[in-house]
Copies of this chain bind each other. A is one copy, B any other.
Amino acid sequence: MLTKRQESILKMIVTEYIKLAKPVGSKLICDKLNCSSATVRNEMMQLEELGLLEKTHTSSGRVPSEKGYRYYVDNLMELKELSGEEVYKLQTVFNNSGLELSDVLNRSLEIISDITSYTSIVLDTKSHDNKLKEINVVPVNNEVLVAIVVTDQGIVENKTMKVSGVSLEEVKKTVKLINDLIVGTPIDEVSAKLEFEIKPVIAKYVKQHEILYNAFYDVFTDISSKNVSVVGKNNILKHQEFNDVEKINDIFSKLDDKNMLENIEEKDNNINIYIGHENKMDPDVTVIKTNYKTHKDEGTIAIVGPKRMDYDRVVNLLDYIKKQIEGD
């Protein structure tokens, strides 16, 4: 257990290091505290023994360790209000009622990336509250159909299908079969249901079932699939901890890797912080993320930055966005 004074020293070192990115010496601290630098040094030594602080070399100031950051975010961090400017900028997005949720997410995270210099990730899926209401197929010409899929939550998605050499009769028959069997199925179970329950039925009653099945399968996987986007990737370049080309390449590759990004999904309903080795992405970054859920969509929003991240601010911003989205 830390003493009051140790805590306030740790807190100062963390906030100061986040601000200035330079190891923090005892002098800086003792100016703000009513005690001498020697006292501070003794305390620092103890904090180092506890694994909360580190030195970059024998005679340098102290830098928070991952454990130090962890202690900070768990016990010391204070959440302030957002600034008026921040709120104002974000409200321009939330007040724009014409936007789809995915656009709202993207734009608000653009703003966050912009004002914080960090990178954001959005992982968006249709909420599995969505149940299929109907599918509708409009023939355009001999080769092309447009499939329109509607859910009970009012999501409408459409996609052109290429199916050559299939008669309109067959198409209509297939659509009717699918509609009869699949209405009411949660959107994320449609693909499976299509494969195991509907495919056999279509195969029985429809001649060109292969072609039609494949086309519909594509449509449904497309509609229910996860949507990943990364915003403000170039901000990685702004942090001194990522100032060598190797490292940049490394992180950029990870940010481009859809498979890796799909793993950031957050189930927990809180705002969670993963510092350095706590996250699966890269030991040199911190990931702060939270999920969101509306009746139409659900997913995860995440902010990625150096471990020396402005924790308070990012948590506040994410919290604000989450509430805005879910409140709507």
> Cα distance A238–B160 when bound, in Å?
39
User: What residues on B are CB-neighbors of A154 within 8 Å?
Assistant: 141, 143-144
Q: How far is the CB of A66 from chain B (nearest CB, A)?
A: 25
User: What residues on B are CB-neighbors of A256 within 8 Å?
Assistant: 234
A138 touches B138 (CB 8 A): yes
| 37-64 of chain A: CB within 8 A of chain B | none
B156 touches A146 (CB 8 A): yes
B160 touches A144 (CB 8 A): no
Q: Is the interface of A mostly helix, strand, loop or mixed?
A: mixed
Which residue of chain B is the closest to A154 with respect to CB atoms?
Answer: B141
| 77-116 of chain A: CB within 8 A of chain B | 98
Q: How far is the CB of A263 from chain B (nearest CB, A)?
A: 20
Contact indicator per residue, chain A 236-249, by CB within 8 Å of chain B (1) or not (0): 01100001010011
> Cα distance A144–B149 when bound, in Å?
12
Give 10 new A-B contacts, CB below 8 A, not counting A237-B248, A245-B245: A136-B138, A136-B140, A138-B138, A140-B148, A146-B146, A146-B148, A158-B160, A234-B256, A237-B245, A237-B252
* A contacts, CB < 8 Å to B: 98, 136, 138, 140-141, 143-144, 146, 148, 150, 154, 156-160, 162, 234, 237-238, 243, 245, 248-249, 252-253, 256
**Complex A-B: 13 CB contacts under 8 Å:** A136-B138, A136-B140, A138-B146, A141-B154, A141-B156, A144-B154, A146-B148, A146-B158, A234-B249, A234-B253, A234-B256, A243-B245, A245-B248
